């Protein structure tokens, strides 16, 4: 062994010695599994192949119960005021014969003597120019009436000549004899040949006629015969007296069986919307309340027929109400009654036809009466609840009340959320048989107040056909990037979306068809489902988060000391080795800011993780390996401390497969492994202690 020594060594040059050392520290191996990061729940859903969707569902953003479509307001009362009016008087016929001998008794004594002298002889019949003012009873059938005021009608007299000579002229006066004698009228008959007759009539309008009539012949003239004839005082004249078409406005008479002023009522069964045309309606419940009053002293049978009404497919029986100088009330139950409202030819909808027929039932007893006697009927309608309505349900808009859905989780994507194929599914359940077009007014609002309309086209909700009456039709309408501005709306990104708009019933108007219907308990419910499949195509999807600076302890808004535990750090290298199974590339930038987030410094990392290789459908076929070193030098730490940059803004830029030209889809079986280690270089300064 040889040892050599060098003399005169200068040890002073080590008085300010700097010693540097490096430490390599493995920190962790992290396995990021998408199935752990995004676990299935009500908002995260996997397809059978594992493709991941974000789902936000709201079962009801709008509902339309039955009365949104048809509401039957209270019906106005219907009143029928009927006067007794004119009573029919049965036609009466009586015959009266006067012999020549009886006539002669009231002629002048000269005429009488001449006729009696010639009686039984064949000789020239003398001419007669005389009068017969004697009042002769002409009783009508007293069982029909006592005395009546005639509104219209006639007294017809058929005057028959049974003499052997022509009657030149005869005048017939007709009298009432009760309560005292009054002239009713006079008829004049001229030139009546033997064995012939002539007929004439008295207009009785305005005449009070009793059943006790009488007549006289104030003029009676005949011609003399042209040749001898057998003169017989038993020959004479005959009067056939008939009442024709008499109608009385008052008096005392026997009421005949007759219908008084039957009326067909048209009840407007209108909905609150004037464009609605109801053809058939069946009621679940409801009442017609009636009141019938009469001051006629004879029985009235009032028949009420609701035309076109059926119950259990059988015509509804007429309602019969009997009154006699009294008032009666009652109800008509409309439960399960189906109305046909098409019977009015001029308006075959919204019209209920009710026929009211008051009929007098004769007691065959004379009663006092007056045409102003009345029978009044009034009808009021209780609350009507329909069981089914058919027809045309009108053309109008129903406003959809605005609702709002929050999307707080999107707030972190303040640079946008570039999904490739999001969808909004409008979900409806509908049991109302009417086409309803929905115009959805949806608008997203970002955290910064930016707004974007959905701009979706109107769509018609699925609805049952007539053959599907009673069924609930479920329907889904899809709003996507092809028919709306959904991509722009989600790329705000929105922290809330408001939903409103309108529902248009029969938006095309009336086309002549009556195919709409509503049944009890039916309605429309509308909800939505926002389907955001994790399918991205982007070269600049930025995720940015701000937090307290993790490199330092912060006290009272000021940097205190480094969290690395020493101020002798020359630099720190964070080394990441990544086995990436996700078809996304990530770039990382870190910014350091003041308490008011004013950025003053940064560390630009660049590519942190390379995208896995994806197939044409955006699904990973091969993982990629990459490494990244993030160095934080002491000078950077000192600058951050000196500027009191207490905030760190981490900005990650996500790029889909093939540098953003290809869609990347995220599946639940994706796994990325990240190995994290640190290299810390420390520096110590050694100074000689002076003695």
Per residue in 610-629, pLDDT (tens digit) is 999 999 999 999 999 999 88
Write down the pLDDT at residue 90.
Answer: 86
Asked whether residue 302 falls in the same domain as residue 163, the answer is: no
- The percentage of residues in the chain with a pLDDT greater than 90, rounded to a whole number, is 50
Write down the pLDDT at residue 415.
Answer: 64
Read off the pLDDT band of 17 (50, 70, 90): very low
Window from 71-80, 222-231, 238-247 with minimum mean pLDDT? 71-80
Look up the pTM and report it. Answer: 0.68
Write down the pLDDT at residue 14.
Answer: 40
DSSP state letters, 592-632? EE-TT--EEEEEEEEEEEPPPEE-TTS-EEE-EEEEEEEEE
Write down the pLDDT at residue 2.
Answer: 31
Q: Is residue 61 part of a domain?
A: yes
Q: Which one has a higher pLDDT value, 282 or 4? A: 282
Q: Is residue 349 part of a domain?
A: yes
CA distance from start to end of the chain:
38
Last residue of a domain, one of 254, 283, 304: 254
DSSP SS3 for 638: helix
Asked whether residue 136 falls in the same domain as residue 57, the answer is: no
Asked whether residue 208 falls in the same domain as residue 293, the answer is: no
Write down the pLDDT at residue 11.
Answer: 41
Compute the residue count for the chain: 691
Asked whether residue 382 falls in the same domain as residue 431, the answer is: no
Q: Which of 369, 402, 273, 381 is nearest to 337 (CA)?
A: 381
Model confidence pLDDT, tens digit, residues 20-48: 566 677 767 878 888 888 889 888 999 99
Q: Is residue 15 part of a domain?
A: no
To 5 degrees, how large is the angle CA 14–CA 15–CA 19? Answer: 60
How far apart CA 255 and CA 299 sit, in angstroms, is 10
Q: Which one has a higher pLDDT value, 416 or 427? A: 427
Q: Is residue 13 part of a domain?
A: no
How far apart CA 670 and CA 652 sit, in angstroms, is 20
Top-ranked range on mean pLDDT: pick from 160-164, 446-450, 556-560: 160-164
Read off the pLDDT band of 548 (50, 70, 90): confident
DSSP SS3 for 399: strand
Give yes or no for a contact between 684 and 569, defined as CB atoms under 8 angstroms apart.
no
DSSP SS3 for 275: coil
Number of other CB atoms surrounding residue 219 within 10 Å = 19
Give yes or no for a contact between 265 and 290, defined as CB atoms under 8 angstroms apart.
no
Determine the average pLDDT of the residues in 106-133.
92
Determine the average pLDDT of the residues in 38-60.
89
Beta-strand runs (E) in 470-598: 473-479, 496-505, 516-519, 523-533, 535-536, 541-548, 552-555, 558-562, 569-580, 584-593
Q: Which one has a higher pLDDT value, 63 or 191? A: 191
Determine the average pLDDT of the residues in 168-191.
94
Alpha carbon 653 to chain centroid, angstroms: 53
> How many domains in the chain?
4
Model confidence pLDDT, tens digit, residues 457-488: 999 999 999 999 989 999 999 999 999 999 89
Asked whether residue 447 falls in the same domain as residue 501, the answer is: yes
DSSP 365: S
- The percentage of residues in the chain with a pLDDT greater than 70, rounded to a whole number, is 93
| Predicted confidence (pLDDT) at residue 441 exceeds the cutoff of 90 | yes
Write down the pLDDT at residue 49.
Answer: 94
Determine the average pLDDT of the residues in 404-431.
81
What is the overall mean pLDDT for the chain?
A: 87
Q: Is residue 358 part of a domain?
A: yes
Q: Is residue 287 part of a domain?
A: yes
Model confidence pLDDT, tens digit, residues 485-512: 998 998 888 889 998 899 899 998 999 9
To 5 degrees, how large is the angle CA 123–CA 125–CA 130? Answer: 150
| Predicted confidence (pLDDT) at residue 165 exceeds the cutoff of 90 | yes
Asked whether residue 285 falls in the same domain as residue 240, the answer is: no
Write down the pLDDT at residue 3.
Answer: 32
Write down the pLDDT at residue 491.
Answer: 84
Write down the pLDDT at residue 406.
Answer: 86
Q: Which of 11, 20, 19 is nearest to 688 (CA)?
A: 11
Distances in Å between the alpha carbon of 267 and those of 314, 345, 351? 22, 14, 6
How far apart CA 666 and CA 53 sit, in angstroms, is 9
HSE, CB side, 13 Å, CA atoms: give it for residue 111. 21
Number of other CB atoms surrounding residue 564 within 10 Å = 16
Last residue of a domain, one of 533, 553, 572: 533
Phi-psi region of 659 (alpha: psi -120 to 50; beta: other; left: phi over 0): left
Q: Determine how β-strand 552-555 pairs with β-strand 620-622.
A: unpaired
Token pair 């189906």 is found at: 338
| Predicted confidence (pLDDT) at residue 144 exceeds the cutoff of 90 | no
Read off the pLDDT band of 416 (50, 70, 90): low
Asked whether residue 117 falls in the same domain as residue 232, the answer is: yes
Give yes or no for a contact between 340 and 351, defined as CB atoms under 8 angstroms apart.
no
Q: Name all contacts of 548-556 with Cβ < 8 Å and 24+ positions apart.
A: 548/646, 548/647, 548/648, 549/592, 549/640, 549/645, 549/646, 549/647, 549/648, 550/648, 551/632, 551/637, 551/640, 551/648, 552/640, 552/641, 552/646, 554/646
Write down the pLDDT at residue 420.
Answer: 84
Q: Is residue 17 part of a domain?
A: no
Phi-psi region of 336 (alpha: psi -120 to 50; beta: other; left: phi over 0): left
| Predicted confidence (pLDDT) at residue 516 exceeds the cutoff of 70 | yes
Model confidence pLDDT, tens digit, residues 291-304: 999 999 999 999 98
Give yes or no for a contact between 456 and 483, defined as CB atoms under 8 angstroms apart.
yes
Write down the pLDDT at residue 8.
Answer: 47
Give yes or no for a contact between 459 and 477, defined as CB atoms under 8 angstroms apart.
yes
Read off the pLDDT band of 338 (50, 70, 90): very high
Q: Which of 151, 369, 358, 356 is nearest to 255 (CA)?
A: 369
Please give the residue range of the domain that contains residue 483: 52-69+395-533
DSSP state letters, 186-199? EEEEEEE-TTEEEE
Determine the average pLDDT of the residues in 431-457.
92
Distances in Å between the alpha carbon of 95 and those of 160, 216, 529? 11, 15, 98
Q: Which one has a higher pLDDT value, 665 or 572? A: 665
Asked whether residue 603 falls in the same domain as residue 653, the answer is: yes
Q: Is residue 639 part of a domain?
A: yes
HSE, CB side, 13 Å, CA atoms: give it for residue 350. 18
Asked whether residue 387 falls in the same domain as residue 399, the answer is: no
Asked whether residue 204 falls in the same domain as residue 160, the answer is: yes
Determine the average pLDDT of the residues in 321-335.
92
Distances in Å between the alpha carbon of 212 and those of 151, 177, 237, 248, 560? 19, 6, 21, 16, 136
Token pair 């119960």 is found at: 65
Read off the pLDDT band of 551 (50, 70, 90): confident
Asked whether residue 491 falls in the same domain as residue 548, the answer is: no
CATH of the domain at 188: 2.60.120
Read off the pLDDT band of 412 (50, 70, 90): low
Last residue of a domain, one of 254, 285, 318: 254
Asked whether residue 400 falls in the same domain as residue 490, the answer is: yes
């Amino acid at each position: 062994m040889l040892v050599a020594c060098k003399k005169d060594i200068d040890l002073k040059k080590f008085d300010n010695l700097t010693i540097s050392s490096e430490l390599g520290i493995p920190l962790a191996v992290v396995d990021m599994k998408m199935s752990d990061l995004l676990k299935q729940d009500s908002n995260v859903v996997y397809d059978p192949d594992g493709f991941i969707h974000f789902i936000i569902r709201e079962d009801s953003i709008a509902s339309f119960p039955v009365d949104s479509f048809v509401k039957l307001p209270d019906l106005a009362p219907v009143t029928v005021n009927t006067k007794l009016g004119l009573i029919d008087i049965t036609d009466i016929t009586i015959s009266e014969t006067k012999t020549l001998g009886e006539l002669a008794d009231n002629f002048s004594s000269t005429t009488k003597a001449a006729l009696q002298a010639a009686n039984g002889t064949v000789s020239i019949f003398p001419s007669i120019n005389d009068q017969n003012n004697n009042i002769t009873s002409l009783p009508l059938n007293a069982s029909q009436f006592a005395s009546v005021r005639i509104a219209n009608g006639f007294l017809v007299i058929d005057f028959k000549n049974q003499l052997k000579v022509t009657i030149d002229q005869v005048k017939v006066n007709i009298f009432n004899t009760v309560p005292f004698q009054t002239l009713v009228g006079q008829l004049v008959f001229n030139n009546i040949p033997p064995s012939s007759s002539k007929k004439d009539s008295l207009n009785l309008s305005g005449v009070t006629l009793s059943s006790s009539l009488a007549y006289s012949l104030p003029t009676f003239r005949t011609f003399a015969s042209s040749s001898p004839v057998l003169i017989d005082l038993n020959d004479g004249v005959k009067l056939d007296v008939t009442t024709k078409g008499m109608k009385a406005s008052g008096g005392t008479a026997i009421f005949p069986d007759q219908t008084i002023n039957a009326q067909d009522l048209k009840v407007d069964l209108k909905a609150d919307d004037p464009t609605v045309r109801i053809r058939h309606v069946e009621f679940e419940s409801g009442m017609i309340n009636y009141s019938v009053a009469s001051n006629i002293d004879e029985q009235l049978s009032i028949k009420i027929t609701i035309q076109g009404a059926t119950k259990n497919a059988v015509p509804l029986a007429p309602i019969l109400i009997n009154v006699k100088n009294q008032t009666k009330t009652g109800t008509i139950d409309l439960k399960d009654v189906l109305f046909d409202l098409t019977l009015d030819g001029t308006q075959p909808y919204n019209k209920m036809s009710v026929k009211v027929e008051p009929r007098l039932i004769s007691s065959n007893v004379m009663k006092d009466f007056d045409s102003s006697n009345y029978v009044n009927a009034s009808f009021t309608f209780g609350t009507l609840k329909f069981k089914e309505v058919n027809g045309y349900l009108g053309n109008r808009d129903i406003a959809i009340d605005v609702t709002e859905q929050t999307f707080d989780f999107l707030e972190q994507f303040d640079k946008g959320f570039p999904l490739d194929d999001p969808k909004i599914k409008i979900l409806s359940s509908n049991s109302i048989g009417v086409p309803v077009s929905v115009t959805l007014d949806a608008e997203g609002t970002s955290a910064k107040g930016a707004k974007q309309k959905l701009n979706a086209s109107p769509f018609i909700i699925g609805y049952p056909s007539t053959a599907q009456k009673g069924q609930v039709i479920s329907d889904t309408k899809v709003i996507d990037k092809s028919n709306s501005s959904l991509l722009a709306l989600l790329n705000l990104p929105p922290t809330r979306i408001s939903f409103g708009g309108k529902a248009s019933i029969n938006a095309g108007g009336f086309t002549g068809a009556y195919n709409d219907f509503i049944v009890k308990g039916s309605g429309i419910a509308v909800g939505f489902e926002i389907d955001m499949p994790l399918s991205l195509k982007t070269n600049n999807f930025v995720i940015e988060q701000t937090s307290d600076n993790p490199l330092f302890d912060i006290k009272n808004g000021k940097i205190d000391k480094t969290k690395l535990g020493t101020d002798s750090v020359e630099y720190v290298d964070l080394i990441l080795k990544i086995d990436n199974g996700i078809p996304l590339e990530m770039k990382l930038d870190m910014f350091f800011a003041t308490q008011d987030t004013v950025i003053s410094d940064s560390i630009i990392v660049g590519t942190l993780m390379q995208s896995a290789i994806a197939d044409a459908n955006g699904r990973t076929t091969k993982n990629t390996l990459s490494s990244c070193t993030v160095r934080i030098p002491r000078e950077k730490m000192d600058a951050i401390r000196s500027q009191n940059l207490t905030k760190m803004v981490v900005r990650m830029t996500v790029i889909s497969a093939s540098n953003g030209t290809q869609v990347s889809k995220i599946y639940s079986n994706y796994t990325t492994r990240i190995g994290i280690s640190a290299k810390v270089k420390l520096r110590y300064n050694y100074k000689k202690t002076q003695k």
